[in-house]
Each structure stands twice: as structure tokens, then as C-alpha cells.
Amino acid sequence: MQSFIEQFFNIQIMIAAWPTLLQGTVVTLLLCAAVIPMGLIGGLLAALASNSISRLIRWPTIAFVDFFRSIPPLVLLIFVYSGLPFAGLRLSPFTAVVIAFFLNNSAYYGEILRAGLHSVGYGQTEAARSTGLSAIQSLRFIVLPQAIRNVLPDLLSNTIEVIKLTSLASVVSLAEILYSADMARSVTYNASPIVLAAGIYLIILWPLVRLVSQFGKKIGT
């Protein structure tokens, strides 16, 4: 038991590794700050385009969403980081992660928001237009707020998955939380930094998980 504690819960090693993991936490938060808003914007555009009356817009958008939802994020990340240089486009690890995760998350956010838009009856749009609102104003002030409210737990759940997804960035040597913890582990030959990294993820994600539960209860009532 003592050896288990020393190997996984060594406080001295955790303290020594903390500055490195703190830097990794900053990188992870920067990734989230870039990927989540971009994914939401891309997802909204994909949701609107998939509901377009024009087949030239609707079908390519549906194909885009299905394609990037079908590809594992890790495979997509490796392709963007290692494949694009053969096409003459060399990206930094951070940029490659942002692009890969943007494509992946736009597809997932788009499908969620599309379901939200479908949950709002067409009568809402007709009623808004009858009051003199334009199509864009009806969407902005009437349809979209209701659609987002209807799928808010799903949006938040997907956001949680995006945060956990950032751990894949370690594959391209981006010094986020997991990569930093693994570097500390390789130096100390001790798994305590990995446990500390798991604790940081828990601190970040636990409030969001509780928030999803609360929104789910409110919407359910």
C-alpha cells in the first residue's frame, strides 16, 4: 500500500511538477478559448445551411457534418498536422489542433443546433414575420433563443467533451495538461503528475457537469 501511495500520490513530486502542469493548464484553457467559440459559430452556420431550401447548400453541408462526425478526432488531428506539410502547408502544433478540433466540433455543434432549430415550430417564424420582423430578425430574436434553450444541456455536454478532447493535443507534442504531466512523469519515473493532471481536469469539469444537470432539471420541469 505504501508503494502504491508513493507511486501515484507522492505529494513532493506533485509540488515539484505543479509549475509545469500550470503552464500546461494555461495552454489547455487557451485551446478551449479558441476551439469552443469557433466550433459554436461553425456549428451555427452548418445548422442554418443544413436547413436551407437550396439543395446546392443543404446537401454539401449535410455531407460535411456526416463526414467529420464519422472521422475519429485523433485521425483528423494527425492528418492535419502530419499530412498537410506534404501539400506545402506546415502548421504549428497549436494551429493544427485548433483546425482539426474546429472541423470536428463544428460538425457536432451543427447537428445539435439543427435539432434545436427543428424543435421550434414553424408557426413561431410565421408569427414573427406577421409582426413585421425580417427573416433574419425572426431567427435572431424568436427562433434561435428558443432553439438554444431546448438543446442547451446537449451543447454544454458537447463542450465538456471538447475540453476533454484537448488531451489529444499531446500527440502532436503540444504542451497541454496531459503532455506536461507525461513529461514530468518521464523525468521523475513516478505517476503522481498524471494523477495531478486528472485532478486539474476534475476541478475544471466538475462545475460544468453539475451545470448540465441543473439545466436538464430546469428544462425537464
Confidence at 5, pLDDT banded by 50, 70, 90:
confident
Average pLDDT over residues 139-143: 84
Q: Percentage of the chain with pLDDT > 90?
A: 63
Fold held by 2-220: MetI-like fold (1.10.3720)
- Say yes or no to pLDDT of 47 above 90: yes
The pLDDT of residue 51: 87
d(CA 113, CA 40): 9
152 has pLDDT over 70:
yes
Is residue 206 classed exposed, middle or buried when 0-12, 13-18 and 19+ CB atoms within 10 A define those classes?
exposed
Question: What Cα–Cα distance (Å) separates residue 79 from each residue in 43, 83, 93, 142, 183?
Answer: 22, 5, 12, 40, 24
Q: Per-residue pLDDT tens for 86-106?
A: 888 889 999 999 999 999 999
Return the pLDDT at 221.
Answer: 52
Sign of torsion over alpha carbons 104, 105, 106, 108: positive
pTM of the entire structure? 0.89
Average of pLDDT values for 103-119? 94
Instruction: Select the highest-mean-pLDDT range: 2-6, 30-34, 130-134.
Output: 30-34
pLDDT of residue 218: 67
The ranges assigned to domains in the chain are: 2-220
Instruction: Please say if the pLDDT value at position 204 is more than 60.
Output: yes
